[in-house]
Amino acid sequence: QVHLVESGGGVVQAGGSLRLSCAASGRTLDDHIMAWFRRTPGGQRAFVAALIWPTSRSYYEESVKGRFIVSRDNAENTMYLQMNSLKPEDTAVYYCAAGDRRDFPGTVFYQGNFRSWGQGTQVTVSS
């Protein structure tokens, strides 16, 4: 199992930027998909972005395309989420997750298929 620790959350004004980090440990990520999810106040946890670790190919939820960028540092076993042009509706607890590539045959990233989760980091965007 992969152990995940998020950091980088905070309070930012609308239009600002934040970068979240997800440090992974416990095993190699060469056969993993890494992802970011978020839970808005009173809402469900929902997909934000995913990264195919070996190839760095990325996928995004429609509302964050062009504003968020997911990337990795292979040497540090760390995934990042650069969030730009933040909006109040981006306010949420952000979670990173890791899953085995074999559990994701397509490009739909069901959260139930991710085996490891971080504790979450709060992002608050003020208007």
Share of the chain above pLDDT 70, in %: 100
Q: Which of 21, 6, 11, 17 is closest to 84 using CA atoms?
A: 17
For 41-54, the pLDDT digits (tens) are 888 999 999 999 88
Q: Is 3 helix (H, G, I), strand (E, B) or coil?
A: strand
For 1-17, the pLDDT digits (tens) are 899 999 999 999 999 99
pLDDT at 20: 98
The answer to whether residue 19 scores a pLDDT higher than 90 is: yes
The answer to whether residue 106 scores a pLDDT higher than 90 is: no
pLDDT at 54: 84
* DSSP conformational letter for 105: S
- Residues 42-70: what's their mean pLDDT? 94
**Band of the pLDDT at 108, cuts 50, 70, 90?**
confident
Is-contact 36 48, C-beta < 8 A?
A: yes
* DSSP conformational letter for 98: E
Is-contact 70 49, C-beta < 8 A?
A: yes
